[in-house]
Structure 1
Amino acid sequence: MQVKFTLSNIIRGDAAQLDQLFQAAAVPSPATVLRSHTAEKVCKYLLKPEQFDVALAVHINQLQAVIIPKIAQDDGFYLNAENPLRQLFSALINRAVSWYPRESKSSQQFLEKLTTLVKKLDQSSSEQVNAASNEFRDWLEAEAKRSAMLESRLCETEINSFKTLSAECNVLELINAALANKPFPVELQTGVANTLKSELLHSYFTAGQDNPFWRTWQRLLPLLGKVFATIATPEMSSEDSQVLYRTIPALLNELERSLTIQISNPESYRQWVEVLSEQLMLTIKKQPIHCSIFNDLKYPVGFENLNTRVTTDILQQSDSIQEGDWILFTNENQLVIRCKLALKNSETSQLLFVDDTGRKVMNKNAQDFAVCVATGIAKKMTPVNAEEIITKILQALIDLYEQKKNQSKVQKNASDAKALAETQLQIQAELTQKKEREEEEKKRVVQELGARRAAAQKALAEAAAIAEERAQRAAELKLAQEKERLQLEAEQAAENLQRIQLANINISALNLGARVELIQNGEAVRCKLAVIIAATGKYIFSDNIGRKIAEFQREQLVQALLNNQLTLLNNGDSFDDQLVKVIRGLRKDIS
C-alpha cells in the first residue's frame, strides 16, 4: 500500500511516518543503509570543514565518525529540536565556528572538552551519551555566560576610552592642521605638545567645541601657522611685513584675552603664552627667531588613519554588519582570526572586536574596517541553519520515494504491455499450428484420392496438385503477412510504451525553474515551471515576470509531451544545485 508522506507532519514529530518514509524510500535496499547515508549527508552539511579553523579538522572528522551511527539509530534527531544529539550539534557548531587557536587556557580547554566528548560518544551507551552531551552543553553555556559578562564589561570600558581618544584626536587634528610641517619657534614646540594640547583637551571635555577656549584657539592656531611661516621666509616682501604688523598686535590682544578664560592649569598656560608673545614681539622688533619644522603630533594607536577616505558604496558594505555579527579577519601571515563585533560606536566611528571568550581582539575605525571588507581581509561569517538543512534533507527523502514510486509504475506498465504482446503472439502461433495441421490432413486425403484415381484421372490429379500448390503458397503468403502484421503491432506497442516511459521520466526530472515551450492556440509560448504541488500532482507554469501561463496535472503534462504540445528546453536546477546556490549566496554575504 502506497503512503502519502507530509513534510510538515514529520517535522512536527510524526515518528511513524518518518520510519515508513525510510522503509519506502530505501527499497530495494535495507532502511538502515538509507539512514546511514542520510546521517552522513546531515553531518556533511552541518560540519562543513570550511566553516571551522583548520586546527579543528581532525577533531571534526573524529566527531563525524562517531556521531553518524548515533544519528542513524535515532530518528528523533530529525523530529525534535530538543533531541539531545541535535542540541549538542547546535551548541557545538555555535562555539566551534568562532574558535581559533590561541595560547590561552580557554582555547586549549575547548579542544580538551571536545576530545573527551568524542571519546565518550564512541564508547558509551545511549544514556551515557546523553549525559556526556548535557555535560558538554552545560560547559559551553557556562563559558558563554562568562564571555558575555567579560564582553559587557569591556564594552563599558571601551565606550569611555573611545570618548577620551576621540577628544584627543580632535585636539591633535586641530593642532596638526594648523602647524604640522610648518616653521614654528623651537622654544614653543614643547609647550604646544604639552601645555596647549592639555588645555585644549580639558576645554573639549568641559563643553566640547562650544567652549570659549576652544573657539579662541580655532582662530589663533591657523593665524600663528601663517605668521611664523611668513617670518621664516628668507626674503620677506614689504607687503608680507605690512601684513605681519597688522596681524601680530591682534594676535597679542587675543592671547591676552585667552588668559581670562577658566582653564585647568592657568599658571603653566600663562608662562607659555608669555613666551609666545615674546616671540611675536621679536618679529615686530625685526629681531631673528629660531624656527624649525613642527613635526605633526602622533595619534593614539588604532587612530592613525582617521583621515582615510572611502566611497559611499564601500561604507554601505560595512554598515550592513551589526553588533553580534562574527567576522573572519585574515592577517598578514594568512592566519584567520575569528572575532565578534561587540561594539559599534557611531559617535566616535570606532568598532570593538572580541573573541569567543569575550576578550578584546582589536579596535578599528569605521573607514579602515570598510576597506578590510571591500578587499576581502574581513568577511562576515554566515551561520549554518540546522533546522533548514534538516528540512531540506527530509524533503529530499520524500522526493526520492516519489521518484521510485513513479519508476515502479512505469516498470509495471511496461511489464503488463510485454505480457500482453507475448500472449497475443502465443495465440497467433497456436492458430498457425492448427492451420498447418489442417493443411497436412487435407494433403493426406488428397494424396489418398489421387492414388486411387491416378490411373484414370492423371490430368485431374495434376490439376489438383497445381491447385493445391497454389493454395499452399497463398496460405504461406497469408501466414507470413499475418506474422509481419503482428510483429509490427508489437513493435508499435513497445514504441508507444517507451514513449510513455520516457515522457514520465522527463516529467519526473523537472525541477523548479525548468524552461518549456507550450503550444497554446496554435502558437508556441515559452515559460518556466514556477510551482510543483506534490500533493495533487499539479504543475504551474509562469512567464519571466511571474504571471501564470498554464497549469497541468501530471497526466496532462505526459499527454502534452506525447502529442508534441509541450517541448522541454531544460530541466531546471536539481535539489543539490539549488542547495549549492543557497550556500554560494551565503558565502557571497561574507564577501
Structure 2
Amino acid sequence: MKENLDKVKFAASKALTRLMMKALDESRLQIEAQTMRFADAKPPPIAEESRGIAERFMNSLHDYFEELTTLLVNDTEIEPESYDNLSLVDHDYLEAMIAMEGMVKQLRDKEIKGMRSFLTRLETMYPNIRIDETNNPLDPEQVGDCFNEAVKPLGFKAHYLLTIYREFNKTVFGKYDDVIAEANDLLVDLGVLPDLDITARERELRKQKRDEARAQLAEEQQLKAAEEQAELKARMTRKPKAKPESPDQSQSEMFTMMQSLVHGLAKQSNNAGLAATAGTEISGELAAEQEELRKQQQKLMGMLTDIQSNMLTKAAGSGTPGFISANNVAQSINDSLKAEQSSGDLGAISAQSGDVINLVTMLYEAIWKDEALPVVMKELIGRTQITIMKVALSDTAFFDNQNHPARALLNELALAGIAWTQTVNLDSDPVYQTVKQIVERLLSESAPGNEFLQQLLNDLRVSRSKIVGTDLNLERRVRESEDISQSMDDVNEYVRQKINERVLKGYLDPSIRKLLDTHIHRFLVKLVTREGPEGKSWKPVMSTIDALLWTVQAEKHVGDRERFERINPRLLDNLGKVLEIGGASKTKITKIMRQLKQVQEFTFHQAEHGATAEQSQNGDSLTNRVILATRNKKDVPALPRNDPDLRRVDKLAIGTWMEFRGNSGERVRCALAAKIDSIEKLFFADSEGKKVMELTRMRLAHELKAGAVKVVSEGSLVNRAMESVISNLKQTSTQKPRRRASA
C-alpha cells in the first residue's frame, strides 16, 4: 500500500507544482506590468525565487502524504507565536492568509468532484486510519498551507501577495477537479476499488460502445440515420443500473458511490445489511414510463405513512413512545413490501427506490450507534426515520447536498441536544420542548417538502439562539443589507450582540463593561459600516477583545502572569488604536488605560493571595467537577510540533463539543467558545454560553492523549453516519475476496 500511496504522492505533487509554477509566472507578468507605471517601483524577484518556492511547496506536500502513515517527530519545542494577529493594521501576510482561507472555503463549498471517491479509496488502503479533511493530503486546506509556507519566507508586500494568490486560486484551485480525477484514475489503474464510482464504469462502457460501433459500420454499412438509431438503442440498453437520473453527475457522486457499494453487498450470500428489502422483488431495469414510476412512488409513500402511524401508535401503547429502533422499522418495511407484492397491489420496486430504503435504514442504524448523541436525542431522531426516508425517495439530493434542509435539520437537532447527557429536569428545558415540537410537526406532515423542512430548521435555530441571547433574524438582516449605512439601528444591535457573545456570561468589572459598551462598541460600528459584517479586519479585532477579557478575569492559572507580561504591551497598543478610531480623546484614552491596568493588576493580586483559588474551590467551576489527567501537575511537558493530539487541538473549530468525565463518572460536555493563539489558551462554555473552563493547548493535548477528554461533535451527525455506512459497506465488500483466497 505504501508503494501505491507513493505513486499518488509523486503524481499529485507534480501536477500541483506544475499548476503552481504557472500561477507564479502569470502573476509575475501582471506585477511587472503594474510596476512599469511607476518610475521607482521594483517588482519582487518572483522568477528568481520560483525554484525555491516550488521546492518548498513540493516538500510540504510530500510531508502531508508521509504523515498519513508515520509520525514526523520534531524535538524542537513550540515557540509561542507573536501577538501580531491582534494588530488592527492589515499586515501583508495576514491578508494573504485570510485570502487563502476564503479560497479554500469557496472550493470546499462547491463540492470537489471525485474527492469523496478519493477519500474512500485512501481509507480502503489504510482501514485503521480515519481520513478526513484534517489529514487528507490533497485537501485544499493542506495544499493552501503548503503554498503559504512556500511563499512566506520571501516577505512580499500585501498587494503583490494578493495578485499571486488570485492567480493561485484561478490556476491551481480552478483545475482542482482534474488533479483529483488524475489521482482517482491512478488508484483505479492500481486496482483500488476500480468499480467504486460511475466514472470508472462509464469509461469501460464508452470504450465498448466505440468498438461495437466501428464493427457495425464495417460489417453492415447501414444508413447514417439507422446507425444513429441503433447506437442510441445500444447506449440505452448498456446504461449502468446504478446511475442516478440527475443530469449533473458531480452532484450525485455520494449517492452513486453508496449505490455501488450496496449493489456489491446485494451480490453476497450473507446480505443481512439489506434487511428492509430482503426477499422482495426489485426491478433491475429502469421503468419505461414516468407515469408508472409516479404511481409506484405514491404507493410506497402511502405504505410508509401507514407503517409510521402503526409504529407510533404501538410505541405509545407500550409506554415507551420515544423508542423506535432502525431494525424494527426495517422489519416493518420488509413485511409490508412482501404483503403488498404478494397481493398484487405493488409490483417490483425500482432499483433506486430499493437503494434509498436500504441506505436510509443503514443511516439510522449508524445514528443509533453514534456515541456523541445522547440517548434521549437518539430516541427523538429515531422517530423521524420514515419521514426522512420519504424525503430521500422524493429527492436523492439528500445524500449529496450537505445543505439539504432535511440533513441540516437532523444536524441541528443533534446539536440542540448534544449536552443532554443527564435526563434530569429536561422537561423544564425550553430547547428540549422545542425539539419535541419540531419532531411532532415533522411526523404530522404527510409529504414534507423542502420549504416545510427549512421552516422547521429556522424555528429550531431561532429557539436555540434565544438561549444564548442571539437574534438570528438580526444577523440575517445585517448580512443581506444592500446599504448598511441605512440600517444603523440593526448595526448597533448586531455589534452589541457580538460583544456579548465574547463575554461568555461571566462576571465582568463595571469599568470594562462600560469600555465595551461605549468606545469599543463605536469602533466596531465603524468597522462593520466600512467592511460589512465580519470583514477582513473582524477576526483580529475579536482576538483583541478576547485577550482583553482574559487579562481582567478573576480566575488565574499557572503561567498566566508570564503570558500576561508578554502580550499586554501589544494589547494596550492595539486598544489605543481602537479607542482613537472610536472617537476617544487622548486624555480619555490615558484615563481608560490607567483604569484598565488597575483592574488587570487587581485580578493578579487576588490570585496571588489565594482569593481566586478559594472562590474557585467553593464555586461551580467545571475544572473542579471533572477528572483531569494533568490536574496535579503544575506544568505539562511540551509535545513535539507534529504530535497528532497537539495538531488536533490546533484544528479544533469554535463550537466543537468536548466530553469530560465527572468526579462521579457522569458525562460532562462543554463547547469550545474562544481561542487566543497568542497565549495558547482555549475557553469552554456550557449550552447557555456561560464560561466553565479554560485550558492551555498543551494541557488539552495531554488530556486527549490520556483519554480523559474526547471530541464528540467532529463533523455533522449525518456526515458521521454516512462515513460509518460507507466504511461498513467497504469492509463487507472486502470480506468475500479474502474468503476465496483461503478456500
TM-score bracket, normalised by the shorter chain, equals 0.3 to 0.5
Structure with the bigger RCO (C-alpha within 8 Å, sep 6+) is 2
TM-score by length of 1: 0.39
Larger Rg: 1
